[in-house]
Structure 1
Amino acid sequence: MLPISKTAAERWDHTLLDSIGRTLATATDGIKALADHLTTDEAFARGLVDAVELIGDGANRVVVSGVGKSGHIARKIAATLASTGTSAYFVHPTEASHGDLGMITAEDVLILLSWSGETAELANMLTYAKRFKVPIVSISSSRDSTLGRNSDIALVLPKVAEACPHGLAPTTSAVLQLTVGDALAIALLERRGFSAEDFKTFHPGGKLGAQLRLVHELAHAAEQMPLLAVGRPMSEAVLEMSSKGFGVVGIVDEKQALVGVITDGDLRRHMAGDLLSQPVEGVMSRNPRVVSGDLLASAAMELMEEHNITVLFLVDEAGLPIGILHIHDLLRAGLC
């Protein structure tokens, strides 16, 4: 690697970082302008609510489209909608003009993106939508544009400065389009009560899928649980702990409810000549931390990290142990 001269280092500090800072500040100003727009432009606010109701009240699918940078944002919006429970997909306007219009039905909703509202490639989609009465939601910066005038719901964004010093490359404008798409997706998610369990259905893979798994799916149950009854000697607790390999043994009362646990730490704290002859209730830690089987695995991981523990017992509503979860089970599932 070549050494960096003092002059180059100064240029790095004062020129490149200044440029990066201006871009971030411009994007921040754009988001603030959009948030202010929501409270000051009644038509924009009403349009967002109407769009959520239109899509949520029975749209078969949402078809999202745009060209250039707007097209890339449209793809992301479609993906976000689909992953949060709204059936959606992207159609490229050029492909639509060569047969893919047949993928769009009167039961669908079109979301069309164009910052200027004058994107020529969208013309055939507009014509088709008008002919077959497909409702159009547009995201642009001009209500008086061709796209704005021909939309059932026109979401008109505030005029903002691009980060590009020439005002040409779509930067801040793309951020605003994406933000509006995210706002629609999350409003639809909350409107339909889309739960973490629903989310898991669409995200079974990767770390996100692991975080959305429930602890009962990862826990060990039945004969794998290290359990011992109150009144038994510590010698049996040590054997049970060693044979099951979790570094812990759960103590249950006469009703089989979990009332305590004995860990390696408890053994060290009570180390004495008569330890093995003591009853387990004299050594156990009472009121152990337990979880229900329907807790998210990510929440179990947070609980373990917060309290510096490596094992959790799963209990039912009566306090009966139904499983045991080790931090290694979470690691194997891909949570870290």
Structure 2
Amino acid sequence: MKRCHNFNAGPAVLPVPVLERIREEMLCLPGVGMSVLEISHRSKTFETILSETENRLRRLLNVPETHHILFLQGGASLQFSMVPLNFLTRDGVADYIVTGSWSEKAVEEARKIGRVNIAATTKEENYARIPNQSELRLDPQAAYVHFTSNNTIFGTQWPTEPEVGTTPLVCDASSDFLSRPLDVSKYALLYAGAQKNAGPAGVTIVIVREDWLERIPGGLPTMLDYRTHVKHRSLYNTPPVFAIYVVGLVLEYLEAQGGLAAVAAASAEKAGKLYAAIDSGSFYRGTAERNSRSLMNVCFRLPNPDLEAVFLREAAANGFEGLPGHRSVGGIRASLYNALPMESVLALIDFMRDFARRHA
């Protein structure tokens, strides 16, 4: 079977060498006698997988020893609740920078726990850009500042993290995690669903600073307390064994590609070529302001919705999958995650040029 050009926003494309490795080891892990789907999470085999995965991630991101790496479940959506449950008191306040639908959802959950200060939002501009540093209205008493580094629905991305002084910084990095080098030491907590760049759906990676754990109050439900998972090395309950195994293979692949600096350069090249095609005429129009454009999710429109429907039908017929924009906004969205080859981007550009020539 021929693989399609996979532009899905998540779960997303995985590296072919990783898929081939999974296929090779699916029936029986080397020297184990059974599949990774069958091994005990208490076995030495899985303990090795877990340790190697954590160590590879620590190397790739240069995670300092001051931070713990956790492999949890529930996606970023559970983290929307866990962060305030652990670090926001009823009489406290947290700063949230709102740049899209997912940060809106994070705010909804935080408000169930304590007060939220909207430090900045671009909602009135349909989230077409990232706020400037000068626009941030941070509360000096805030327990933390939360932001979403990349917005899959609107195609915007923070070029770097906001400056927040000594206030703990929390980031939902789900859709650009492992796409570029990151100074983890700046973060009190960072979380990401794996299903964009790190692996399959089912595991959420959390990186949390040790000294911040001291602020967690007693009496939280066991599974919602970060200290539970730190103490038990993500093994308090049965973890998503297969998903963690695949994350380990993806991390090994990224190391072989030259690490995150090489990955970032490839991402910039892929996005640059696609944005250049969009900007080359008036037929296609990018939805994000140029200085806020995402390198992961390229969102654009055609002259009218009817043409967009034709575009998507023809694209699907030509082997392009995952191009419809999110159902809440419509349009076109091409997700350019790490594993998407340049060949797919160039093929999409050729298709776009041909479509514009025939329909302009």
Please classify the TM superposition score into its range, dividing by the shorter chain length.
Answer: under 0.3
Structure with larger RCO (C-alpha < 8 A, sep 6+): 2
TM-score with structure 1 setting the length: 0.27
> TM-score, normalising length from structure 2?
0.26
Structure (1 or 2) with the greater helix fraction: 1
